[in-house]
């Protein structure tokens, strides 16, 4: 989606290293969602951020939302092979009177043992 830009597109890290994935919106967003996907499978919900400055953590994964910059970052501390997969950010955007979730193109993460 051009409305949501993710970077980098792919990332290869050594086990134990920290990493950050960014998601930037070109429009006003209503909530920012992070998901993880194994190739060809469904998306696993990681966390949802609602307001600027909000930060959430789940195990070794932390996400923050900078509402002014319309940007979110996902940080993984001490990466493990189990963190490998595709990370997708999604955001709620207005669609007429409705809203819909639009997703970024994903970041492919490889963690080398």
Count of residues touching other proteins (by CB under 8 A): 28
Please state, in angstroms and rounded to a whole number, the distance separating the CA atoms of residues 64 and 52. 8
State which of positions 48-67 bind other proteins (CB under 8 A): 48, 50
- Out of 7, 10, 12, 41, which residue is the one contacting other proteins (CB under 8 A)? 41
- Determine, following the binding rule CB under 8 A, whether residue 93 of this chain makes contact with other proteins: yes
- Does residue 108 contact residue 9 with C-beta atoms inside 8 Å? yes
Half-sphere exposure of 14 (CA within 13 A, CB side): 1
Please state, in angstroms and rounded to a whole number, the distance separating the CA atoms of residues 113 and 111. 6
- Determine, following the binding rule CB under 8 A, whether residue 85 of this chain makes contact with other proteins: no
- Do strands 85-95 and 107-112 pair parallel, antiparallel, or not at all (unpaired)? antiparallel
What is the x/- site pattern for other proteins, positions 6-35, by CB under 8 A?
------------------------xx-x-x
- Determine, following the binding rule CB under 8 A, whether residue 3 of this chain makes contact with other proteins: no
Q: Which residue intervals of the chain are DSSP H helices?
A: none
Please report, as ranges, the residues that interact with other proteins according to CB under 8 A. Answer: 1, 30-31, 33, 35, 40-45, 48, 50, 88, 90, 92-93, 95-96, 98-106
């Amino acid at each position: 989606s051009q409305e949501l830009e993710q970077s980098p597109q792919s990332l290869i890290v050594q086990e134990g290293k920290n990493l950050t994935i960014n998601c930037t919106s070109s429009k006003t967003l209503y909530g920012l969602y992070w998901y993880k996907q194994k190739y060809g499978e469904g998306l696993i919900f990681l966390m949802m951020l609602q307001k600027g400055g909000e930060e959430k953590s789940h195990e070794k994964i932390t996400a923050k939302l900078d509402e002014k910059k319309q940007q979110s970052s996902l940080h993984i501390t001490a990466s493990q092979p189990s963190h490998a997969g595709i990370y997708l950010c999604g955001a709620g955007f207005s669609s007429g009177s409705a809203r819909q979730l639009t997703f970024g193109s994903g970041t492919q993460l490889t963690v080398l043992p």
